[in-house]
Amino acid sequence: MTTVKSAATREALGPTLIELQNSGEFDLIVVDADLGKSTSARIFQDTYPERFFTFGIAEQNMISAAAGFSVMGHTVFATTFAVFAEHAFDQLRMMVAQPNLNVKIVASHGGVSPGEDGASAQSIEDFALFSSLLNFNVCVPADVIEAAAITKAAALTPGPFYIRTARPKTSIIYTDGPQFELGRANQLREGNDLTIIACGLMVERALIAADELKNNNINARVLNMSTLRPLDTNSLFAAATDTGALVIAEEHLSHTGLGAMCAHALASSIPVPVEFIGLDRYGESATWEEALELTGLTSAKIISACHQVLSRKMT
Amino acid sequence: MSADLDFEQSAIILAANVRRHIVKMVYSAKSGHIGGSLSSTDLMAVLYSKYLKHDPENPNWNDRDRFIMSKGHCTPVQYAILAERGYFPIDELKTFRQKGTRLQGHSVLGKPPGVENSAGALGMGLSFGLGIRLAQKLKGMQNSKVWVLMGDGEQNEGQVWEAAMSATHHQAAGLIALIDRNGIQNDDFTQKTMRSEPLDKKYEAFGWNVLSNIDGHSIPEIAHAFEWAITQDDAPTCLIFDTIKGKGVSFMENNPGFHGAPPDDEQFKIAMQELQ
Could you write out the three-class secondary structure of A161-180?
Answer: EEEECCCCCEECCCCCCCCC
Q: Tell me the C-alpha distance between B36 and B248, whole Å.
A: 12
Q: How many C-beta atoms surround the C-beta of residue A294 within 10 A?
A: 16
Count of CA atoms in the C-beta half-sphere (13 A) of A160: 26
Pairing verdict, β A246-253 and A220-224: unpaired
| Closest CA relative to residue B18, chosen from B64, B106, B68, B77 | B77
Q: Tell me the C-alpha distance between A96 and A62, whole Å.
A: 12
Element (H, E) at B242: strand B237-242
Element (H, E) at B151: strand B146-151
Which range marks the domain in which residue B140 is found? 3-274
Q: pLDDT per residue over A292-312, tens digit each?
A: 999 999 999 999 999 999 999
How does pLDDT run along chain B (276 residues), one tens digit per residue? 577 779 999 999 999 999 999 999 999 999 999 999 999 999 999 999 999 999 999 999 999 999 999 999 999 999 999 999 999 999 999 999 999 999 999 999 999 999 999 999 999 999 999 999 999 999 999 999 999 999 999 999 999 999 999 999 999 999 999 999 999 999 999 999 999 999 999 999 999 999 999 999 999 999 999 999 999 999 999 999 999 999 999 999 999 998 889 999 999 999 999 999
Interface test with B, best of A48, A59, A72, A90 (most B CBs within 10 A): A72
Pairing verdict, β A137-139 and A227-229: antiparallel
| Closest CA relative to residue B133, chosen from B122, B124, B144 | B144
Q: Is A190 annotated as catalytic?
A: no
Residue B4 pLDDT: 79
Number of folded domains that form chain B: 1
Interface test with B, best of A61, A74, A77 (most B CBs within 10 A): A61
Q: Residue B56 CA to chain centroid, in angstroms?
A: 18
A50 touches chain B (CB under 8 A): yes
Q: Tell me the C-alpha distance between A195 and A142, whole Å.
A: 17
ipTM confidence: 0.96
Task: Indicate the SS3 state at residue B68.
Answer: strand
Are the Cβ atoms of B110 and A94 closer than 8 angstroms?
Answer: no
Residues in B closer than 8 angstroms to A65, CB to CB, are: 127-128, 130-131, 134, 163, 166
In CATH terms, A6-171 corresponds, of 3.40.50.300, 2.60.40.10, 1.10.760.10, 3.40.50.970, to: 3.40.50.970
Element (H, E) at B80: helix B75-84
Q: Are A163 and A140 in contact (CB under 8 A)?
A: yes
Q: pLDDT per residue over A215-256, tens digit each?
A: 999 999 999 999 999 999 999 999 999 999 999 999 999 999
Pairing verdict, β A170-171 and A6-7: antiparallel
Based on its alpha-carbon atoms, the radius of gyration of chain B, rounded to whole angstroms, reads 17
Domain A186-309 sits in CATH at 3.40.50.920
Q: Residue B159 CA to chain centroid, in angstroms?
A: 19
- A99 preceded by cis ω (within 30°)? no
B136 touches chain A (CB under 8 A): yes
Q: Tell me the C-alpha distance between A7 and B247, whole Å.
A: 63
- Which sequence spans correspond to the domains of chain A? 6-171, 186-309
Angle at B229 between CA B225 and CA B230, to 5 degrees: 125
| Nearest CB partner across the interface for B159, out of A61, A68, A72 | A61
| Nearest CB partner across the interface for A71, out of B130, B132, B165 | B132
Residue B5 pLDDT: 75
